[in-house]
Structure 1
Amino acid sequence: MPDSGLALLYRGTLSSCNYDCGYCPFAKQQDSRAVLARDAREVMRFTEWVAAQDRAISVLFTPWGEALVRRHYRAAMHTLAALPHVRQVALQTNLSGPLGWLADMGDIARGKIGLWCTYHPDQTTLARFVERCARLGAMGVRYSVGVVALREHYDAIRALRAALPPHVYLWLNAYDRRGPGYYAAADLAWLDVIDPWFAQSRRPAPSRGKGCLAGEAALSVDGDGTLTRCHFVPEILGNLYQHDLADLLQERSCPRFKCDCYIGYAQRKDLPYQDVFGAGVLARLGPQGQSA
């Protein structure tokens, strides 16, 4: 299991999104100017805290909304990636925001960027999305691509896999509201080939009592600095800006019956994701950008 230093999963106040996916509670939600200003202040405070540290740190921004359309997230990623002790700066995005800021970065800093890109077939065209992925590749930006595996997206998944470079990992998220029999055996035969880790998404391995890096080498932090071990365990451990992390970080086992989100189960010690993805684990990046 690679030692990637401390991983911080940041989720601030932002909840607005420019897409309106039917399964998402934040679809077309709009934040007020006051909320966006607060979010920008929070992101700046977090960035300044990371800059003041002297330990290896990796950051994953996991916003409820779409962050890359906001200038302050792009600025934060630019600043963080330039810090010598920051190993990776990753972010979940629908890839609809500006990309030019990435070209303005130095090669070393740009090499630390990892984008977890989600394709929404009913919100954008395949041609536009793939063109934006190609721009990332041309700039040397590492990225993974994924789709929520709705039945109505099957043709889009096939087309996307055919259009992406073979080395780009295409991950599939199981549809949350699926019932028994939602995925037919014949469908799973090819879905599992496209994403060899799809089984964990649709049929999460029991997690209660399992060893996990969350709380030991990874923490979730909100805009106020409140720390929890991960996004899915609400127990508050402390505050990033008030407490010494040395007093908070310790080995912990998972208290949940199951963990069905990658940002959670990627930290499980009994699952292979830390080794499979290595330093790119936060953004689902294979070693040196290779497919997992």
Structure 2
Amino acid sequence: MHLSLLYRGRLSSCNYDCGYCPFAKTYDSREALRRDAADLARFVDWAGAQRMQLSVLFTPWGEGLVRRHYRQALVALSRMAHVRRAAIQTNLCVGLRWLDEADLGKLALWCTYHPTQVGRAAFLARCRELDRRGVRHSVGMVGLLEDLDEIEAMRRELPATTPMWVNAFDPRPPDYYDVAQIARIEAIDPHFRYNLAPAPSLGAPCLTGESVVSVDGDGEVRRCHFVDQPLGNLYDGSFAAQLRQRACPNARCDCYIGYAHRPDLPFQRDYAGGVLERVPSFV
């Protein structure tokens, strides 16, 4: 059995202040950080005790890599024989020496470039260092119209082998993008329309709740981040009896970490082996 876990703990603090983000420049109390670290250590201990094959993606509301406990968790998970992938969503703002201790054959980074928060040259320097170290990673941006030139510049300056994705700006007014602007973005990310205009989800097949689950800091398991009904708890094992095929109960799913697990969409094929870190199979 192989199980993918999308872990989102209590962390909500972020060192960036992007204007569209509700978590911009938020701060966790010392107690919240202590609890988050303890929860994460418990999760890593649970993972280490398993015999089934695991993959883990950390999807914190804030920025995880600025916290030592997330770096330590990724290192520990990457060095477990039964873990296929240990990945995290990150703004790539921290130094990379911590990677020296990780198994880079298993670790991966889903990196987002925020041009109002960091210069292109500095971000590209970190990407070059990831390349030098052989770290699997993708790079993405939010598709703000005022950033279209910057999106294209980032694509030109990244190595051709580094996949780049673009998320549609949301919430946005109707007709925010015109046909020409969509074409510019699709030249960079051919899957952009799945994020821009999500296919109806209600009744669609989905691997979440079967081979993919969402886990919070208390160990409560749900099928994904977007379906609130609990399936049980990770630590008492009660979730395992609830794993089975299920159709999506939502009218639509507009987030990659949800719709990428729909087998009727192309992501299981096009991103085979790299769905969690958003790295296409051709890389």
TM-score bucket (shorter structure): over 0.9
Instruction: State which drifts further: 80-89 or 242-251.
Output: 242-251
SS of corresponding position for 1:145? strand
**1:276-287 to 2 correspondence within 5 Å?**
276-287=270-281
Instruction: State which drifts further: 240-249 or 199-208.
Output: 240-249
**1:22-41 to 2 correspondence within 5 Å?**
22-41=19-38
Q: 1:123 aligns with which of 117, 120, 132?
A: 117
1:192 paired residue number: 186
Identity %: 54
**1:6-85 to 2 correspondence within 5 Å?**
6-85=3-82
Q: 1:275 aligns with which of 266, 269, 280?
A: 269
SS of corresponding position for 1:132? helix
Runs of 4+ with deviation above 3 angstroms? none
1:153 paired residue number: 147
Are 1:88 and 1:114, in contact at CA under 8 Å, matched by a contact in 2? yes
Deviations 1:4-40 (A, max 9, x none): 8100000000000000001111000011111100000
Letter in 2 for 1:193: A
Are 2:221 and 2:239, in contact at CA under 8 Å, matched by a contact in 1? no
Distance 1:141 1:152 in 2: 30
Deviations 1:202-221 (A, max 9, x none): 00000100110000000000
Distance 2:191 2:274 in 1: 16
Q: TM-score, normalised by structure 2?
A: 0.98
Are 1:114 and 1:285, in contact at CA under 8 Å, matched by a contact in 2? no
2:83 paired residue number: 86
Q: TM-score, normalised by structure 1?
A: 0.95
Structure 2 residues not aligned, in runs of 5+: none
Are 2:8 and 2:58, in contact at CA under 8 Å, matched by a contact in 1? yes
Distance 1:189 1:36 in 2: 43
Deviations 1:200-250 (A, max 9, x none): 000000010011000000000000001100000000111101124430211
Aligned length: 283
Are 2:109 and 2:136, in contact at CA under 8 Å, matched by a contact in 1? yes
Structure 1 residues not aligned, in runs of 5+: none
Instruction: State which drifts further: 278-287 or 211-220.
Output: 278-287
Does residue 248 (structure 1) correspond to residue 248 (structure 2)? The answer is no
Distance 2:108 2:274 in 1: 7
Q: 2:170 aligns with which of 162, 171, 176?
A: 176
Are 1:69 and 1:98, in contact at CA under 8 Å, matched by a contact in 2? no
Letter in 2 for 1:222: D
**Root-mean-square deviation (Å):** 1.0
More helix by share: 1
Are 2:225 and 2:258, in contact at CA under 8 Å, matched by a contact in 1? yes
Deviations 1:57-80 (A, max 9, x none): 000000000000100000000000
Distance 1:286 1:99 in 2: 23
Distance 1:215 1:118 in 2: 27
Distance 1:286 1:261 in 2: 17
Distance 1:101 1:63 in 2: 19
Are 2:231 and 2:239, in contact at CA under 8 Å, matched by a contact in 1? no
